[in-house]
Amino acid sequence: MFADLLESPEWDDPRHVPGEPGVRPDLRSRRIPLGPVAVFGASNFPLAFSVAGGDTAAALAAGCPVVVKGHPAHPRTGALAGRCVTEAAAATGMPGGVFALVSGPGNEFGARLVADPRIAAVGFTGSRSGGLALMAVAQARPVPIPVYAEMSSINPVLLLPARLAADPGGLAAAFVGSLTAGAGQFCTNPGLLLAIDGPGLPEFRAALAEGLAGSPSATMLTPAIADAYRTGVAGRADRIIAGSAEDCRPAVFAATAAEFAAAPALREEVFGAASLLVTCADADELAATVESLEGQLTATLQGESDDLPLARRLLSALERKAGRIIWNGWPTGVEVNAAQVHGGPFPATSDGRTTSVGTMAIERFLRPVAYQDFPAELTT
């Protein structure tokens, strides 16, 4: 995909405003690579968001050397992928040192990598605490650098009234499929459901309970992820309406909009197959709840034609809250293409102007330079 982009004459956004003698200078501009990029492999996607993942591909496409900090959750997988990249770089005549894989225990190792004056930018996928820590290191440098961190998101799904009344059972079944895919270990997992109290909601809750009844304990990717999931579920065990609080099983909790507003802990991501159903009294309370949300990777509207006026009312807020807005679909599953946005306002990401998936990801590792009154031969 990036190879195709680089064969396009427009990938570095070349621009030219011809000069007029005595009136204005001749200006040409283009985007150039930032320099070496530190990439932190994610724990939950050993391939797509790790050593040979999207951050590495986007940085290399931009012309930036890459130093990957391998994730300790999958060291052998990381080493195998790193060998593939190194061999491919050599086979295609890329410069020596264009790619490196480093590993080391503890957070201090990663902090040292970000603090190294040769590193010009950072790509990170992981926890909010980890991303904030790297951002602090990057900003404390004598020359601060950008950190593009994908962190936490609960990806709200809005069950609009007409849709909920029309097909509560179908909605519940589709939601369960999205919630439990991959044991819920997706950054776009639907961790929040918002609905107005009314027709279809009791049936939806009953179908949820039936759909999750007897769900088996899931195998999670690492002991740390499993422990964090158990802790998160145990902290909300008194709110469970579907699923189970037992070892690494799916769970859906419930709260009113007033309870959600009063308890900040209910807004925190429980990474895994866990979600919170928030019931609103009316459309005004639904709109206020949406307005109160943090930045998200995704927001989903489940609606019918009769829901369009309410959807239109909510859309402006959702555009400010999320990087990708879905109509009658589910957030899990990220198509990789030129139009995709896998990013969002803080804390979903550290910079909501960018994406970590799709060809727009290259923009994170480029910066514009203008050339005034230069011979054209020097800027092509």
Find the distance separating the first CA and the last CA of the chain, reported in whole Å.
23
Which two tokens mark 349? 């990401």
Q: What's the alpha-carbon Rg for the chain, to the nearest Å?
A: 23
Residues in the chain: 380
Beta bridge partners of 252: 242, 275
Among candidate residues 148, 100, 99, 153, the one with its CA nearest the CA of residue 124: 148
d(CA 139, CA 35): 17
d(CA 273, CA 191): 8
187 is catalytic: yes
**Catalytic-labelled residue, pool 20, 108, 150, 319:** 150
64 is catalytic: no
Q: Cα angle vertex 46, ends 43, 48, to 5°? A: 110
**Catalytic-labelled residue, pool 20, 84, 187, 294:** 187
Q: Cα angle vertex 52, ends 49, 57, to 5°? A: 90
* Rounded alpha-carbon distances, angstroms, from residue 123 to 65, 109, 252: 13, 16, 32
Among candidate residues 100, 289, 79, 111, the one with its CA nearest the CA of residue 193: 289
CB 326 within 8 Å of CB 175:
no
d(CA 136, CA 226): 28
Beta bridge partners of 322: 296
Q: Which residues are designated catalytic?
A: 150, 187
